[in-house]
Amino acid sequence: MIDLSEKIGRNLAVEQTQYLRTLKKDIKILVKDISDFRGDYEKNGPMVEGIIPKEAIERLKRFDEQYEVR
């Protein structure tokens, strides 16, 4: 029983390392996605000067949809 529990413990340690690596990779992807989304919003969003209100509303809806997907 002790041998089995040690073997399972070692397997879990290996799996934990793999999950941690995947988590760190996914976090980097998420941070980049958020940064890209924010940059696009600031550059092409509804608050851009010189656009008409109708265009601002359409842009806001588009960004709301993208946000919901994320």
Give the residue-averaged pLDDT of 12-19.
93
pLDDT band at residue 42 using 50, 70 and 90 as cut-offs:
very high
Amino acid at 39: G
The whole-model pTM stands at 0.72
- For the chain, domain boundaries: 2-69
User: Nearest-CA neighbor of 58 among 70, 45, 69?
Assistant: 45
The answer to whether residue 70 scores a pLDDT higher than 90 is no
45 in Cβ contact with 63 (< 8 Å): yes
Give the residue-averaged pLDDT of 41-68.
95
